[in-house]
Chains A and B, each alone.
Chain A
Amino acid sequence: MSDSLLTVKNLKTTFYDGKTRLEAIRGIDLSVQKGEILGIVGESGSGKSILMKSIMGIIPKTAKVDSGEVILNGQHIEKLSMKEKRAIRGKEIAMIFQDPMTALNPLKKVGDHLIELLVRVRGMKKPEAKKEAVEMLRRVGIPSPETRANQYPHEFSGGMRQRVLIAMALSCNPKLLIADEPTTALDVTIQAQILNLLKKLKSDNDMSVVLITHDLGVVASLCSRIVVMYAGMIMEEGTATEIFYSPKHPYTKALLSSIPRMDKAEKSRLTPIKGSAPSLNNLPKGCPFAERCELAMEKCFTDMPAYKNFSDTQRSMCFLAWEGEENNE
């Protein structure tokens, strides 16, 4: 834990809609090490995007971070003013979003998106920024970047737009890149290109990456550590090997067995998870997964299980994990 770039302690974010409270993030502890790719997986509504937005301080007006500490490089950033936070965004943390179609300004040339950033954040002069913008486009694998910089976003395909967003995110040499479903809107062949690019840029720039995705295949091929989220909480976290080869939480296990395995020769029937995720305005008192869990016990519905550490890297939030302990001892 000594080499951690970002540490999040007991983060809670709630949405307020009139009288209803939607608890989106319910007490998350998380750390991102220097130089690692951390994968955050979870179904829609599990709070993975809001978690990252809470860290960046870009949550919608209807939401509020109730409590928690966010420590970036030894500095508490949760209490900073908007202005101070803005200085960190881009320089220290950058984010790329899921939808490359809407993230670019359609009225602005692609090169100008980058130039604006370079001038504002890195304080470059315009001619210098222009050169650097072209260089950035070249680095993310856009062919003939001089011409492309003068084109508008609509002239770019989805994959190329995502490359532009990556170029923008990297233009200020951030220490942490948050990629929120960066390939979900793309075809598999383009997805493979973008993932390879992310991997390469990560080692070239010596930065850390947080990759948010629902695709277990994507985390397996890219991430060294994985956090599994459900209903605003971390169900399990561990190294990729731990999560894929010895998952401890029933939700992780269920998630892994509900996807078809291309690498197995014979097809077998899929094992779905029954029911659907709980609604955030009516969360159960106990374990949020209890209702869908095949192994749920009585206390799962009434009490919240505590985390149990299985190794220095793996922990899981489940009564069954503790049960095993009691039996062994």
Chain B
Amino acid sequence: MSDNNKQKLIEVNHLKKYFPIKSSFLQKKNQYVKAVDDVTFYINKGETFGLVGESGCGKSTLGRTINRLYDATDGEIIFDGIDIAQLNSKELQPYRKRMQIIFQDPYSSLNPYMNVGEIIEEPLEIHTNLSKKERREKIGELLEKVGLNKQDMEKFPYEFSGGQRQRIGIARALSINPEFILCDEAISALDVSIQAQVINMLEDLQEEMGLTYLFVAHDLSMVRHISDRIGVMYLGRMVEISDSNELYQNPLHPYTKALLSAIPIPDPIKAQRASTESIQGELPSPLEIGRGCRFRSRCPFATAKCAEIDPEMKEVGSGHYVACHLYE
């Protein structure tokens, strides 16, 4: 590993999350959707780890399993030296405080019946011993930190625009000084001009408070912009992990290459020159995962070996990992 001097905040080892499919009583055997299937990676303290992939690849499930919103089927989630994967809800309480989430939809993630002050106060009530007055002060500070006014405390979510609501969500996440924040498509629902506001704010807060982010998104250009390292997922598996600049300049896995070349470039001349070859087919059903590499049905380089053996993650350059038979 290239960055031994950096401290790891989160280490995920062979993490699995299977969702059972409800079966009728005639069907004896339970079927599972293997949303996250044997994923291993780590996140350094103070960095932003980006997680990308098509919808249905398991990136949100992975994030939420790490935050223990879902119970892991198998594997380890080592948070600051302790495996939290199997802790019960009481044992988890101190860790909940250290991990927070910013959700995708700023419209449904805020309770419409609570005013902004109450929304932000809730985690403070649960996790701190602050008095009512101290909490109010803290809420005022938080609102100012995310670019809103103290007076906004009395307002209700419907009085705010999407970007402002996302700021309220961020203030709520920051209220108990977490170390780790999962940004689950945190900017996807916002307009481009507002996305930049929120991204810049997240970057400033990270610097100021030493936060660690797991940034889950499907907008690859934004992920590249904010992330230090990036993991690419396909059908429940991590297929490539690398430093973000390295990944975009030197993608190795055929899937990463296809994903990157599919991004439309906001520059007409470059866009005309770029290849118009697009990757064929779609993500296969997660119920029909057979032997071998999961990407082989869409991979232009697939060989007989790919149908037989599932490639393992290997380090091919400093800090650049890829799971593909082409690089063995």
Binding site for B on A (CB under 8 A): 43-44, 157, 159-160, 187-193, 195-196, 199, 214-218, 220-222, 240-241, 244-245, 254-256, 258-263, 265, 267, 269-274, 276-277
Contact = CB atoms under 8 A, between A and B. Distances in A.
Instruction: Identify which of B197, B245, B268, B276 gathers the most chain A CB atoms within 10 Å of its CB.
Output: B268
Contacts of A221: 264-265, 268, 271-272, 274
Contact of A215 (B163, B194, B199, B264): B264
Contact of A270 (B55, B200, B248): B200
Interface stretch (B113-121, B215-223, B286-294, B300-308): B215-223
A259 B191 contact: no
Contacts of B261: 192
A255 B191 CA distance: 10
Given A189-B259, A189-B278, A256 B161 contact: no
B164 A261 contact: no
A296 to B, nearest CB: 16
Interface in B188-234: 191-197, 199-200, 203, 218, 220-222, 224-225
Contacts, number: 132
Contact of A267 (B161, B196, B225, B271): B225
Given A189-B258, A221-B264, 14 more contacts: A43-B193, A44-B191, A189-B54, A190-B54, A196-B278, A217-B266, A220-B265, A220-B268, A221-B268, A256-B266, A260-B222, A267-B224, A273-B193, A273-B197
Contact of A263 (B220, B225, B265, B276): B265
Contacts of B265: 217, 220-221, 262-263
A43 B163 contact: no
Nearest to B258: A189
A155 to B, nearest CB: 11
A260 B271 contact: no
Given A221-B271, A270-B196, A260 B258 contact: no
A38 B271 CA distance: 16
B197 A272 contact: yes
B263 interface: yes
A276 B225 CA distance: 22
Nearest to A186: B55
Contacts of A160: 282
Contacts of A215: 264
Contacts of B193: 43, 254-255, 258, 272-273
B270 interface: yes
Q: Which of under 10, 10 to 19, 20 to 34, or 35 or more describes the interface residues of B?
A: 35 or more
Contacts of B220: 188, 262
Given A188-B259, A263-B270, A272 B278 contact: no
B282 A262 contact: no
B328 interface: no
A157 B279 contact: no
Interface in B20-65: 54-55
Given A159-B282, A270-B199, A276-B163, A244 B267 contact: yes
Nearest to B147: A274
Contacts of B163: 276
Contacts of B258: 189
A257 B267 CA distance: 12
B262 A189 contact: yes
A191 B248 contact: no
B69 to A, nearest CB: 23
Contacts of B200: 269-270, 272
Given A187-B218, A188-B218, A189-B258, A259 B267 contact: no
Nearest to B278: A192
A220 B163 CA distance: 26
Nearest to A187: B54
9 contacts: A157-B282, A188-B220, A190-B282, A217-B266, A222-B264, A258-B196, A259-B266, A270-B196, A272-B200
Instruction: Identify which of B194, B270, B280 gathers the most chain A CB atoms within 10 Å of its CB.
Output: B194
A259 B260 CA distance: 16
Contact of B195 (A195, A240, A258): A258
B318 interface: no
Given A263-B270, A270-B200, A272-B197, A220 B264 contact: yes
Contacts of B263: 188, 217, 262
Interface in B234-284: 245, 248-249, 258-272, 274, 276, 278-280, 282-283
A241 B269 CA distance: 8
B259 A220 contact: no
Contact of B192 (A43, A191, A263, A269): A43
